[in-house]
A = this chain, B = another copy of it.
Amino acid sequence: MTNKLNLNNLTKSEEDYLKAIFQLLIEDDSVKVGNNQLADYLKVSPASTNNMIKKLKTKGYVVSEKYGKLDLTEEGKSIAVRLIRKHRLWETFLCNYLNFTWDEVHDVAEQLEHIKSRKLIDELDRFMDFPKKDPHGEMIPNANGDYSIIPKIMLSSLSEGDVCQLVAVNDGSVHFLKYVSEIGLALSSEIKILEVREFDKSIRIKFDNIIETVTRKFADNVFVKKVV
């Protein structure tokens, strides 16, 4: 039982790397995560990621062979999930209590997730009465670190005639989130696929009697639950 009560002596950078690897791993669990891919995601050079990966390997959070793909140890995953829990709880707090809109919360949560205090985050959770979803529809891991992977269906994967309900959106881009709100889409909106254009994969959708055409890129960032 080497459950050495994780002193969490990690730097902000180390934390961001672990979270990034975790996000890339769950984003598409069939495809393994590569060094360049991670560099691209974090907007740093491959040399930087290579360097940090070495450190995280000696610390026991990452596993990989030379020239091989990256994976996280249980300890590494556990740290990543705790970061995601903090990130999403803070986003929820900002939206529900401090008048932030859903496109404003991500950058601030990116800072707040690094505050080190177990009590802080558990009390924040209690204060909000243990919310289950963040403002973008993503699940919030509980204090035990349970991360339930709900397979994400992209809007772009549906076909003509399908009806679905919006369950979550990618929270990384302010422009995207503003765009989603502006056209009138919101969590739980029921969306019908009217047409998928072969030429550029753009999709004609209908929701609340609004008809819109969205690009493939847009539809890749909208996650849904199929209804029909």
Residues on A facing B (Cβ under 8 Å): 94, 97-100, 104, 107-108, 111-112, 115-117, 119-120, 123-124, 127
Contacts and interface: CB of A to CB of B under 8 A. Distances in A.
B97 A127 contact: yes
16 contacts: A94-B120, A97-B127, A98-B119, A98-B120, A98-B123, A98-B124, A99-B123, A100-B119, A100-B123, A104-B119, A108-B117, A108-B120, A111-B116, A111-B117, A112-B115, A115-B115
Given A94-B120, A120-B94, A111 B115 contact: yes
Contacts of A107: 117
Q: Could you say how many copies of this chain the assembly holds?
A: 2
Nearest to A120: B108
Contact of A108 (B94, B97, B104, B115): B115
Contacts of A120: 94, 98, 108
Contacts of A97: 127
Nearest to A97: B127
Contacts of A98: 119-120, 123-124, 127
A119 B98 CA distance: 9
Contacts of A104: 119
A53 to B, nearest CB: 25
A152 to B, nearest CB: 29
A88 B94 CA distance: 19
A112 B100 CA distance: 18
A117 B112 CA distance: 11
A83 B112 CA distance: 16
Contacts of A112: 115
A96 to B, nearest CB: 11
